[in-house]
């Protein structure tokens, strides 16, 4: 097996040694020796073929109760530290390699011409939507410490450091490791939606605030050098948005009051960050020479730029103070110069920028001043404009209550045609529909209160209104009517979200009917965002069938948008795991249908993946580069539409896959009790995770479980079932009946080859032996037959994957990933064995001590760290 790169190996070793020293110092030599014995035994077992895990299981079983928690913590923290080493290495490796973006610009300039390429770059719009994550298991205080270690690791390899400087950095890392060890990993309280929003703001402040202008400066330099023209100062390929505090689908904790508070928090923090920039600019821009326009604004000033920045700062601080007062419940009068649009910030910045150019100081103009201007274009007046998301049935319920009160009948019982006729009539009417006072349920009152908050906020702090489980055109029209009746003065984009397999199949029909309506064509101004759900469709039908349904839906939506001359933006609701649409940006983008990108794309970035992709500036920079490269390639050089024989094959394979998947998840009588007894689904409630409940309903079975904890539970026991179940039958069908077509698809269809690559990674992370141990410890014997069936299915799929890819072992063409998984395995396995034992004790009648309950929680965190993407 290949070795880890030297830098990565050295960093893993350094962090492991420092953790060992810390454990020895705080827990004593006896416990340290137990940790080492377990680690060495795990390593020996994993380095031998067909090794017996019984000695490791026995050693773990013989532990004193008092030793379990520190040992679980030791292995869990090593995995967290190994992740830091990984992230630091790959962010550095990106910068050391030849610039892929530069190579792409040269390639496309020669094919499409410099002018066309520059035009496409200027018009790029990559919208990244930050969402909370119900399985983000790491506390914010620890995340900050991990980030500080990452920064320190980047300094260690600096060959120009003197010996005492290297010692100083090493001591800082040691101190941070000790701080981590002596900090409780477990949250005692579930974070609120406001806490989640603050976490998102912190990512912007600590990383994106610097990374965004740095990347655009880099892109501008490349365009100057290779395309012969610079980018406009207002160019902004990236825009960030948020669901934190706006996503109320299935989350009763997100109310209209929470949404209002999160919007105020964003405005306050944005104003404070811009005020800090303005102060630094005031110190930098000390020159006196200015054009007439700036002098007219600040006559007799010896430092007009400085005075302009102080004036801007004063206005920003007044806005921050106003927002803070409202957050504290003091509804003071808004200041006259309250910032309500981004031009309120840009005006003085651009005045100074133009003046500096006019008086011959372009280098000063393009310095930190441009960075702030570009931040304003990216982050606006509240850092991340908020999406509002609500379940479509809540709107139906609200309208039904209203029509029944007005004695118009039951809206819920009306046909789709009747609903549309009523809604369109009311949307065109000048008369109000909502009475001033009328009896309504708490749920309906909350829907209407949310609409009022949306109507009363500045337009720039909001983005889209998203309808979960959208099924008919009326689901969109009813939202437009509720917003109108709440006093909305602008046409907020309304986004239907198509999630299940049936919804995806119906999506083109729904949009065709909606776009036929003259009223709606005028409302949307020939621009439409449609959201494609990845999580629920995969949970509903299995990964392969869902992936194909998503592809077909996008194809049809693109064709329809062209028919109606509508600019379509596809919004991809991807998650961190493969089972929820996750994976490398390049693979995800290259597998999109041709014509579905066109320089603009919208994607969710969720919880832990926000940290892994954007948590530190260098990581953010490299991911920006990946997004721009992938978007340019999908726009300018999209792959051809699949051949008809490939499509026919995918239809047949998808049919095989969904049948196999549903025969287990829906059809097997033992599946639900097996899932419940095998996985820590029941124990997830012990963790104070996100603000949103794990289930859409308090009661209900697997069908009510959210897709994220559904995947989290299977990942914990190392079976990863949602990401592969049903694929073996599909691939076997193709290989048996049409091997030549299957081989052609692998070689020439990026959509299919990317799917197989991601599937291979999922299989590589699974561990049948570990899963069998959970079954032995936790599952009643009458359900063991299903477990044996599932593990046999996975084993057969692994053999099949190697056969299809013509290799002897999984991940042969991903040596670093293979080695990284091998390095982690001796640390993850003991946590799994201990988790199974702790779950057994927790579920038994005997009492479990607080320390053992805490250890159970830490096992969930440790396995999540070892698997990297948990939900």
Percent of the chain that is helix, strand, coil (3-state, to 5): 65, 5, 25
What is the C-alpha to C-alpha distance for residues 625 and 211, in angstroms, rounded to an integer?
11
Cα 208 to its chain centre, rounded Å, is: 15
Q: Of 195, 215, 345, which is closest to residue 267 (Cα–Cα)?
A: 345
Token output for 201: 């703001």
Residue 215 backbone phi and psi in degrees, to 5: -70, -45
d(Cα 170, Cα 864) in Å, to the nearest integer? 27
Name the DSSP letter for residue 780: -
- Of 73, 74, 54, 52, which is closest to residue 62 (Cα–Cα)? 54
Active site residue 133: yes
Looking up tokens 């009813």, which residue turns up? 478
The answer for residues whose C-beta is within 8 angstroms of residue 520's C-beta and 6 or more apart is 473, 476, 477, 480, 514
Both tokens of residue 31? 């416990």
Distance of alpha carbon 297 from alpha carbon 312, whole angstroms:
13
The token pair that represents 852 in the structure block = 């053992």
Q: Which of 512, 495, 488 is nearest to 569 (CA)?
A: 495
**C-beta separation of 766 from 794 below 8 A:** yes
Kindly give, in sequence order, each residue whose CB lies less than 8 Å from that of residue 532, ignoring residues fewer than 6 positions away: 497, 498, 504, 550, 553, 554, 570, 571, 572, 573
Q: How far apart are CA 316 and CA 369, in angstroms?
A: 16
Pick from 479, 575, 564: nearest CA to 532: 575
Q: Which residues contact 231 (CB under 8 A, 6 or more apart)?
A: 118, 121, 122, 216, 219, 220, 223
Q: For 606, what's the count of Cα atoms within 13 Å in the CB-facing half-sphere?
A: 24
Residue 739, Cβ density class (10 Å: 0-12 exposed, 13-18 middle, ≥19 buried)? exposed
- Judge whether 78 and 16 are in contact, CB under 8 Å: yes
CA–CA–CA angle 192, 838, 766 (5° rounding): 80
3-state class (DSSP) for residue 497: strand
Residue 340 corresponds to which tokens in the numbers above?
A: 């309500």
The contacts of residue 148 (CB under 8 Å, 6+ apart) are 172, 176
User: Distance (Å, rounded) from C-alpha 38 to C-alpha 32?
Assistant: 10
Taking the alpha carbons at both ends of the chain, their separation in whole angstroms is: 29
Phi, psi of 532 (to 5 degrees): -105, 120
What is the Cα–Cα distance from 266 to 115, expressed in whole angstroms? 38
Q: Cα separation of 227 and 394, whole Å?
A: 51
Q: Which of 374, 376, 389 is nearest to 462 (CA)?
A: 389
Question: Which element (helix H / strand E) includes 126?
Answer: strand 125-131
Are the C-beta atoms of 503 and 470 separated by less than 8 Å? yes
Q: Which of 34, 440, 484, 539 is catalytic?
A: 539
Residues shown for the chain: 871
Q: How far apart are CA 163 and CA 860, in angstroms?
A: 40
User: How far apart are alpha carbons 827 and 77 in whole angstroms?
Assistant: 10
Please confirm, yes or no, whether 539 is among the known catalytic residues: yes
Instruction: State the sign of the Cα–Cα–Cα–Cα dihedral 539, 541, 543, 549.
Output: negative
Q: Which residues are catalytic?
A: 133, 539
């Amino acid at each position: 097996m290949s070795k880890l790169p030297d830098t990565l190996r050295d960093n893993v070793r350094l962090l492991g040694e420092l953790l060992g020293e810390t454990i020895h110092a705080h827990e004593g030599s006896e416990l340290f020796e137990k940790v080492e014995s377990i680690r060495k035994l795990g390593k020996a077992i994993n380095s031998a073929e067909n090794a017996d895990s019984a000695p490791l299981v026995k050693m773990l079983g013989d532990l004193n109760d008092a030793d379990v928690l520190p040992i679980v913590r030791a292995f869990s923290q090593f995995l967290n530290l190994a992740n830091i080493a990984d992230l630091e290495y790959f962010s550095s490796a990106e910068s050391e390699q030849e610039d892929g973006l530069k190579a792409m610009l040269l390639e496309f300039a020669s094919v499409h011409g410099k002018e066309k390429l520059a035009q496409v770059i200027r018009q790029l719009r990559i919208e990244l939507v930050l969402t909370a994550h119900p399985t983000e298991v790491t506390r914010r205080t620890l995340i900050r410490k991990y980030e500080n270690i990452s920064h320190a690791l980047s300094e260690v390899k600096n060959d120009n450091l003197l010996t005492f400087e290297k010692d100083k950095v090493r001591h800082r890392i040691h101190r941070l490791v000790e701080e981590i060890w002596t900090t409780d990993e477990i949250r005692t309280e579930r974070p609120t939606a406001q806490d989640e929003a603050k976490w998102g703001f912190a990512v912007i402040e600590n990383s994106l605030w610097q990374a965004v202008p740095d990347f655009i400066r880099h892109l501008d330099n490349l365009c100057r050098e290779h395309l012969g023209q610079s980018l406009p100062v207002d160019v902004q390929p990236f825009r960030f948005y948020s669901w934190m505090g706006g996503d109320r689908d299935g989350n009763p904790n997100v109310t209209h009051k929470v949404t209002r508070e999160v919007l105020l928090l964003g405005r306050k923090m944005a104003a404070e960050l811009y005020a800090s920039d303005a102060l630094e600019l005031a110190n930098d821009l000390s020159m006196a020479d200015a054009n007439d326009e700036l002098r007219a604004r600040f006559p007799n000033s010896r430092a007009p730029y400085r005075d302009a920045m102080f004036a801007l700062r004063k206005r920003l601080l007044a806005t921050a103070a106003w927002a803070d007062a409202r957050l504290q419940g003091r509804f003071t009068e808004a200041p006259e110069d309250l910032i309500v649009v981004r031009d309120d910030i840009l005006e003085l910045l651009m005045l100074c920028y133009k003046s500096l150019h006019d008086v011959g100081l372009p280098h000063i103009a393009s310095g930190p001043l441009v960075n702030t201007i570009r931040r304003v274009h990216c982050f606006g007046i509240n850092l991340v404009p908020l999406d509002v998301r609500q379940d479509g049935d809540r709107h139906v319920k609200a309208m039904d209550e209203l029509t029944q009160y007005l004695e118009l009948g039951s809206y819920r019982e009306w046909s789709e045609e009747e609903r549309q006729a009523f809604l369109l009539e009311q949307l065109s009417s000048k008369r109000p529909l909502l009475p001033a006072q009328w009896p309504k349920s708490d749920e309906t009152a909350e829907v209407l209160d949310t609409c009022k908050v949306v109507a009363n906020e500045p337009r720039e702090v909001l983005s889209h209104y998203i309808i979960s489980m959208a099924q008919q055109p009326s689901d969109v029209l009813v939202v437009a009517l509720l917003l109108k009746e709440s006093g909305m003065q602008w046409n907020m984009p309304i986004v239907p979200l198509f999630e299940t397999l049936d919804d995806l199949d119906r999506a083109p029909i729904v949009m065709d009917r909606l776009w036929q309506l003259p009223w709606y064509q005028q409302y949307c101004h020939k621009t439409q965002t449609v959201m494609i759900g990845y999580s629920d469709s995969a949970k509903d039908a299995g990964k392969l069938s869902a992936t194909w349904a998503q592809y077909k839906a996008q194809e049809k939506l693109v064709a329809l948008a062209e028919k109606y001359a509508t600019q379509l933006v596809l919004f991809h609701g991807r998650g961190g795991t493969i089972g929820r649409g996750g994976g490398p940006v390049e693979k995800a983008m290259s597998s999109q249908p041709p014509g579905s990108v066109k320089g603009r794309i919208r994607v969710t970035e969720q919880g832990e993946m926000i940290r892994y992709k954007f948590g530190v500036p260098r990581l953010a920079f490299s991911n920006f580069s990946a997004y721009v490269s992938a978007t340019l390639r999908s726009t300018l050089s999209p792959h051809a539409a699949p051949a008809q024989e490939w499509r026919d094959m995918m239809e047949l394979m998808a049919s095989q896959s969904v049948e196999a998947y549903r025969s287990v998840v829906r059809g097997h009588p033992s599946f639900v009790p097996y899932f419940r007894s095998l996985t820590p689904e029941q124990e997830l409630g012990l963790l104070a995770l996100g603000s949103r409940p794990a289930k859409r309903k308090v009661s209900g079975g697997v069908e009510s479980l959210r897709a994220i904890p559904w995947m989290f539970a299977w990942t914990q026991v190392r079976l990863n079932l949602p990401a592969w179940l049903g694929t073996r039958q599909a691939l076997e069908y193709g290989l048996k009946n049409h091997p030549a077509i299957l081989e052609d698809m692998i070689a020439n269809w990026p959509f299919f080859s990317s799917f197989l690559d991601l599937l291979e990674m999922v299989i590589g992370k699974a561990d049948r032996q570990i899963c069998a141990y959970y079954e032995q410890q936790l599952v009643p014997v009458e359900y063991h037959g299903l477990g044996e069936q599932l593990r046999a299915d996975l084993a057969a799929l692994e053999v099949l994957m190697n056969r299809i890819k013509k290799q002897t072992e999984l991940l042969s063409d991903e040596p670093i990933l293979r080695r990284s998984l091998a390095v982690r395995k001796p640390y993850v396995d003991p946590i799994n064995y201990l988790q199974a034992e702790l779950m057994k004790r927790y579920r038994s009648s005997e009492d479990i001590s607080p320390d053992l309950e805490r250890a159970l929680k830490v096992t969930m965190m440790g396995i999540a760290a070892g698997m990297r993407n948990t939900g």
